[in-house]
Structure 1
Amino acid sequence: MAKKNKHGKGTGSTPATVQLEKAGVEFQLYEYEHSNDHMDDGYGVEAATKLGFDEHQVFKTLMADTGTERVVGVVPVSGHMDLKALAAAVGAKKAAMADPKVAMCESGYVVGGISPLGQKTHHKTVLDESALQFDKILVSGGKRGLSVGVNPNDLLKVLNGIAAPIGTW
């Protein structure tokens, strides 16, 4: 069951929702019962299915290492992140997926609940440009079973992020 509040107050408070509230950005919370069954498709696909959203409108947050810094890529759950494109977007020569333990430590979230918002350590963030075709996209709200619906332009503004073609299908 989706819980929708203009600023998410009173339900599911996480560092992600706190960051959006402080920025005065309108968002909606969507909660669902997370299950470890059938996780072959991934956490994001589970969110899209249980919340009834198109997999192109639900985005996953991934952390990569360029050798000099870690960066965050946000791509649709329907595809994958193009590491070469991500590196190019941040002016790096290459990028590799960050170790999940490092991603959890630096973000402050568990795998499957990593949000681009409210991370313990701020990272450059790149949102796949396909997000800009939607008025609202869903990203993790900071824990498994919680998604945040937000305008992609607002998300970029709050994160001081950029949009680039980093997703592949």
Structure 2
Amino acid sequence: LDGAEWIQTACDSKKFAGDEAAFKAGADISAFVALDTRVTVPAWLGDWTKTTDTLTDDGEPQVTYQLYKKDFAAGQTVTLGEVNQASCVNYAVAVTAQQKTPVIGDINADGICNKTDLVMMRDYLLTTGILTPEQGAIADMNADGKLNAVDLTLLKQLLMK
């Protein structure tokens, strides 16, 4: 969420019943809600996607927030609903430019998986090339957290289809 714009609801608004805020997307955006994990997910987040990411504050007590994501097109209204539960803290919202789902194997992020991506992975494995952490995550074809010959083989198989 580097570079995101943030909105934080007031801590005492956790007991508020009704929509807390609304804004119009000025461009295609991805909105993320960081919700206190100690509460029941409110109904208005029902069509948001629960991500694998969490945030943890350094307060006392320490609170962990689950991230939920939803994409909005330019001009759409984003409505931030209520939590209406006293056993939690407020939630925060982060907004970024819309995050497109990467194409499997598209290491150079040009929108297609092709021989260029294969060469990038081969060069990395031969230690003559460098991959950013983002490129490494896309190159990890079997999602085991390691880049090795297995990933290269899987990428070759994908390109042969």
TM-score normalised by length of structure 2: 0.24
More helix as a share of residues: 1
TM-score normalised by length of structure 1: 0.23
